[in-house]
Structure 1
Amino acid sequence: MTPSSRIHPSRTQREAYEALKQVSLTTGKIAADAGLEPRLLELVQLRASQINGCAFCLDYHHDRAIAAGETEQRITVLSAWREARLYSPREQAALALAESVTLIHDGQLPDDVYESAIEVFAPEAYTALLWVLVSINAFNRIAIAGRYPVEARES
């Protein structure tokens, strides 16, 4: 079976996909209103997409992270962020939250991750970050199930 022969969820049930897109747009707005930086949002979406193995979302959020001012070095070592010493305490708390929410089946949301996050994020920012993570995890699942392609680009 080729990826193109898969049912494409965003085309087949367009109304549901548009609703998910609206959730994503709304979470982006509430995240901005809560003071969450675009680079931070792209980092957590990249990390969730790494964990889920979503090539389409990795490609998409890589470009958005670069456009938001992120560096190739920080993107390259993102999966080893704990060892890299390139991320601020705020970013570390967000990345730990991203991992816990993405892997919620594996130990739920540990108290130490929650406590670290609420130490650096106001309640509005914390909940906005959660909604961004819910949204990217949903998009990862749609893109992976539909085997959305990543096309080669010229360098």
Structure 2
Amino acid sequence: MRENIGFKGYTGIVYMFVMLAACAGVGVWLICLWATAEEPNEVYLPLGVILAAVGLACGVLGVIRCFRPAVLVQLDEKNVYLWQRKGTVAVSLRAVSKVEAGEAYRSLSRSGSVTVTSSSGAKVSVSGLSDPLDVRIRIERAAEAARAAAEKKAKPGS
């Protein structure tokens, strides 16, 4: 049975929507100021369009993040499952050679990423985790336990 260990962080989504409201609001205000002025200033329109575009981009990123699943990393006795845009990727715990975790302050939010490297050199990464250090520790412990169980099973007479 799979255990849910890595959850998406919601603070980044909230900050994206705040950026949407701020940038798009100021941008639309500048465009309206330009449109209603008796003597239009040429600076208002391009600045307003740029700010409105930045606000729209933040809104689109926020919506994309909303549609990601709530659980990004799962674990069972044999595999770790990492969510990717193309689908969930399973990595055998016995094949895990390295697990890296990093915290980032993206979009003014505290989120992080976990990268799992297999013994073949393939890397699978997932970002936007609320607690990447805990996820890394749990994957490392499960990988050590899976390798120990495989060694114990491989030894004859045990």
TM-score (norm 1): 0.28
Q: Tell me the TM-score normalized by structure 2.
A: 0.28
More helix, by proportion: 1
Query: Which structure is higher in strand share?
Result: 2
Larger radius of gyration: 2
